[in-house]
Amino acid sequence: MTHSTADEDVHYMQLALQLAELGRGQTSPNPVVGALLVRDGRIVGQGAHLRAGEAHAEVHALRMAGEAARGATAYVTLEPCSHFGRTPPCADALIAAGIRRVVVAAADVNPAVGGRGIERLRAAGVEVRTGVCEAQALRQNEAFRTWVLHHRPFVVWKCAATLDGRIAADSGHSQYVTGAVARASVQDLRRTVDAIAVGAETAIADDPRLTVRRHGEAETAHQPLRVVFDARLRLPAHLQMLREPGRTLVYTTAEAAAEDEARLRAVGAEVVRVATDIDGRVSVRAALADLAERGVCNLLLEGGSHLATAFWQAQLVDKVVYYVAPKLLGSGVPALRGPATDHMQQAIPLAEVTWAACGEDLRVEGYPVYACPNHVSSGRRANDVHGTD
């Protein structure tokens, strides 16, 4: 049997990374993982981790390959697990199947694995190569890594604004800033997250459904947790989100009235009291810590400007997805309401920026680079070279 070349390793790992995306939005709090088995230049098995608690990618690939797995090379986007969780160790399964060589994109940050899977394979005489397409693999599981390393969800700020940075008219009317293609793109984005968050003002003014929808109707397969930040429990009981499939979680403070909590619980909302920030609002840090305990790995922050500003000031935005509509309002509700600034050096730049047309609108994505990052933010640091309707 011939050894694979470095170029072949990259080629097959790229295919494994594509396989991993089949589980996007379905595996939380587990990472997405893809696996490919190659023998004598032929793919004999492939698989992806599709749902938490079910078979891992390596197991699916081994089942497909059968006896052809013996002597094959396994390409795995994340280090094979070495511990008994809800499923047996994948490292042991690869060894038992007679896999000759394993190529790993990235090590697992989970303390229960943390290099032990690679060690177990090597101890059994399996040749292991690591770091192939590592940067792409790390980015692919950015939410899982944030959840494990920082004990909070990965936060994506999604905003739709006019060219002059307005998300709504002065009256609060915001339907619709962007066109139909951009709104459909947001539905695709919602399918990939565990939770969607808005502030009380947005919930009251827009009465959003905060659901994943196809052709206008809510899907049944996956509905992210709906999260509302409401320090005074002002939410009315007739909101659409309280009648939609899935769950609604309301974060409030100790000062909120007990009768308002009972009113919202009566219509199915879960109300959680957490600490306040220095302005008496719901502490976004406390809410994120609670979400992490619930297994929420990624959070889509959709509005409004007050809540988004609180996340930005706490340096808790990890990624930006910004839709720009080719229109001007001249006044209206700004996307952010930060404190006054003195010079452009106070701006927070984005790294790894991508631009794409989205119908008549423009979609911009990037990762914030915080000049003086706090110790719990997973956003990029300066000089870091690694990679609502």
Please give the positions annotated as active site: 58
Beta bridge pairs of residue 361: 358
Are the beta carbons of 211 and 189 closer than 8 angstroms?
A: no
Instruction: Say what the alpha-carbon torsion angle 8, 32, 152, 253 is, to the nearest 10 degrees.
Output: 150
Angle at the Cα of 357 from the Cα atoms of 208 and 137, rounded to 5 degrees: 85
Residue 30 is encoded by which pair of tokens?
Answer: 């587990």
Confirm if 302 and 198 have CB atoms less than 8 A apart: yes
Q: Give dist(CA 71, CA 38) in Å, integer.
A: 9
Residue 326 makes CB contacts below 8 A (sequence gap 6+) with 163, 360, 361, 362
Cβ-based neighbour number of residue 216 at 10 Å: 5
Whose tokens are 């980015």? That residue is 139
